[in-house]
Structure 1
């Protein structure tokens, strides 16, 4: 695979994770439309949890592809932009892996069983209402930070596409061959 292009699996996983994040956001926002303790509210939280687990798995797989096939060389030659882009990517990767872990801890500290397509997670922690609240706050902070970073990431991609006029966005859309 040429180092001027992303591996097709990396492109797929990038957009798949994006869709999962949108779905997770929609379901957790929809949760607020239902009264506490209702079945609909609990269902929204459960679906949000499934999306979080899928995000974790997709991101782990994406990192495997990144380490196996590498990534294209940056098209913007300025070292400051390269450093910012790398920092942004690694921070988003970390948040996309850590946030689902805090989501799992939230459920488990609340004494709830976690299902993933018919499989049940083993109970890793003892239920604890104080820890549940703390973990929930951390999970929400990580999620809000992630939404901010995703926005900055999208704006940077649009800036590179429309202002700098390089192939960065086209490479992730797999629309044209990037120049070497």
Structure 2
């Protein structure tokens, strides 16, 4: 007989069985909101006047720094305190879901790194909501900035497509299969 860790078997006080803990849920939805907002800002600033574009870029940088903190917190929480639930599905569905989750984490981490490298390669300072500057790690290199900027854009689109598939799968489980998968991550 194997003994399962408490995080696998029992809900913390005040948590319904079969649901993730409040912190995991909050970090999930905060990540999703930041990713969508960052993507929309980046895709939209080509359609606005230069002064508004600069403000949008500044907001994009600050939210990207916030995403960095949220991603680190999410990974730390998942690795230490986050509630682990048994797989909602089996077989290929389970493997696909696990692969998609790991890919999203990897792509988000890569995107954060690319964002820092891109800004440093541009040689432009960046700030967190005007509160503090993030110092440059190396001298500007505009050719490198072009390459990293292209990668940053490519990874952004990959994240959005994969996250869209993730959301579509959750909605399929909720409305077609009615198996409670989506409810595991819904707040309230």
Q: TM-score, normalised by structure 2?
A: 0.85
Which of 25, 44, 53 is 1:11 aligned to?
25
The unaligned stretches of length 5 or more in structure 2 are: 1-6, 12-17
Partner of 1:22: 36
CA shift, 1:104, in A, is: 1.6
Q: Where do 5+ consecutive residues of structure 1 fail to align? A: 176-180
8 Å contact from structure 1 (residues 105, 125) kept in 2: no
Equivalent pair of 1:104/1:114 in contact (CA under 8 Å): no
Give the C-alpha shift of residue 89 in structure 1: 0.5
Q: Contact conserved, 2:39 with 2:156, CA < 8 A, in 1?
A: no
1:81 aligns with 2:80: no
Distance 1:155 1:5 in 2: 19
Question: 3-state SS of the aligned residue for 2:140?
Answer: coil
1:93 to 105, 128, 151: 105
2:55 is the alignment partner of 1:39 = no
Distance 1:64 1:114 in 2: 26
Q: Once the 2 structures are TM-superposed, how far is the Cα of residue 6 of structure 1 from its aligned partner?
A: 0.9
Secondary structure of the equivalent of 1:120? Answer: strand
Give distance in 2, aligned partners of 1:115 and 1:5. Answer: 37
Asked if the contact 1:74–1:82 (Cα under 8 Å) also holds between the matched residues in 2, the reply is yes
**Contact kept in structure 2, 1:102 and 1:138, CA below 8 Å:** yes
SS in 1 for 2:138: coil
SS of the counterpart of 2:164?
helix
Aligned counterparts, 1:139-150, within 5 A: 139-150=152-163
Of 66, 70, 75, 2:78 maps to 66
TM superposition shift of 1:58: 0.8
Paired positions, count: 172
Question: 2:122 is matched with which residue?
Answer: 110
Q: CA RMSD in A?
A: 1.6
The CA distance in 2 between the partners of 1:73 and 1:174, in whole Å, is 19
* TM-score (normalised: structure 1): 0.88
The answer to whether 1:171 aligns with 2:177 is: no
The runs of 4+ residues in structure 1 deviating greater than 6 Å are none
CA distance in 2 between partners of 1:166 and 1:30 (Å):
37
Give the equivalent residue in structure 2 for 1:161.
174
CA-CA distance at 1:130 after TM superposition? 0.3
